[in-house]
Copies of this chain bind each other. A is one copy, B any other.
Amino acid sequence: MAIDYSHTYAVIMAGGGGTRLWPVSRKERPKQLLPLLGQDTLFQSTVARLKNLFPPERILVVTVEEQAREMKLQAPEIPEENYLIEPAPRGTASVVGMAAMVLQKRDPHASMAVLPSDHFIRNVDLFHYLLKAAFEVADNGYLVTLGITPTAPSTAYGYIQQGIALDGEYKYPAYLVKSFKEKPDEQTAQQLLRSGDHSWNSGMFIWRADTIMNEINRQMPQLGAELKVIGEAWGTSKQNDVLNKRWLVLKNETVDYGVMEKAEQVAVLPAGGLGWSDVGMWSSMFEVLLPDMNGNIATNSSLHLAHETHNTLVYGGSMDRLIVTIGVDDMVIVDTGDALLVCKSDQSQKVKEVVEHLRKHRQDKFL
């Protein structure tokens, strides 16, 4: 089934902050703008991963003003007008709606892949193949999600249950979605892993602009109405005034809850072997980077001397600072100028609680 890929677009969502990679990611330095995994930032890697499939003029970025400046420096090949600015964070439903509205004005036949700015994907070829397959399914009016075949009973992701296989000659098997499930507890996660028909919700969505807009109008009529008003002013001298005014009244809602869960034609492509990680916490580094024979990882040119140390991540920032570990197992050590984190790997999701604690006690200089 051949489709015209010249109407396909990538929409990178890059609004969020995230606190689980503290103390490297900070309020003013969100995760996607940091070179966490090497020389490139996660945002730059995301753009690079898309460039073979989409020319820069078909890559859009939706973000907030404070981040847009830095992103334009990091990815100058993306045209200025492709950076869409959220006046304030209002959840992914609004972001998706704005992007769909803008794309429909530019190209009535637009299809779009909505992609996070801060994920890691090892197998880019397979990723491209899956996106193409997903656009085929989307072309038939489905809201498509990429599901990630679980490799562990993770409680950090939502799950997607697949139903019957879709008819049609697609490049890759696609299934109707039977249900979306919220982040489960440990025991439920074990069951979902064993079930064989659940995959992780990666937050990657593929659909035609008109399909998603119809679903927004049906399920979130207020958002649909505001987007219509904003769309009418788009490209005129009133664009920013109207956007700023109308945006603030929007309800904060995710596209998952606001649209996907009750949408009519939702499909999932379950993907194994993608080498995907949301780089959601420090322990994710063990999925992404190659450890040495003792399971240790020293990132970011840190000087690490390991003595009877195993499965330990050392994230330092300087060749002038020596980090010695002795008798240390399964640990994450993150060393920055003003803060040091030492955390058992399997507890690294709790970094979030620490940041919350610092916020509550107004330790602003460490946030």
Contact = CB atoms under 8 A, between A and B. Distances in A.
A270 to B, nearest CB: 33
A146 to B, nearest CB: 31
Q: Is the interface of A mostly helix, strand, loop or mixed?
A: mixed
29 contacts: A23-B322, A23-B324, A305-B357, A307-B350, A307-B353, A307-B354, A308-B347, A308-B350, A316-B340, A321-B339, A322-B338, A322-B339, A322-B363, A323-B342, A324-B339, A324-B341, A324-B354, A326-B341, A326-B342, A326-B343, A326-B351, A326-B354, A327-B343, A327-B344, A327-B347, A327-B350, A328-B331, A335-B340, A340-B340
A199 to B, nearest CB: 29
Contacts of A339: 321-324
Interface residues of A, number: 35
A358 B341 CA distance: 25
Nearest to A342: B325
A348 interface: yes
B308 A328 contact: no
A346 interface: yes
Which 9 residue pairs are nearest across A and B when measured between Cβ atoms? A327-B344, A327-B347, A326-B343, A322-B339, A323-B340, A325-B342, A324-B341, A322-B366, A326-B350
Nearest to A334: B324
Given A307-B354, A340-B335, A347 B326 contact: yes
A112 interface: no
A320 interface: yes
A24 to B, nearest CB: 13
A326 B344 contact: yes
A42 interface: no
Contacts of A327: 343-344, 346-347, 350
A316 B335 CA distance: 13
Contacts of A316: 340
A62 interface: no
A333 interface: yes
Interface string A61-72: 000000000000
B328 A342 contact: yes
Nearest to A325: B342
A98 B339 CA distance: 49
Given A23-B322, A305-B358, A328-B344, 10 more contacts: A307-B350, A308-B350, A323-B339, A324-B342, A326-B341, A326-B344, A326-B350, A326-B351, A326-B354, A327-B350
Contacts of A344: 326-328
Contacts of A346: 327
Contact of A321 (B326, B331, B340, B350): B340
A325 B334 CA distance: 11
Interface in A103-153: none
A118 to B, nearest CB: 22
Contacts of A343: 324-328
A328 B329 CA distance: 11
A332 B316 CA distance: 18
Contacts of A338: 320-322
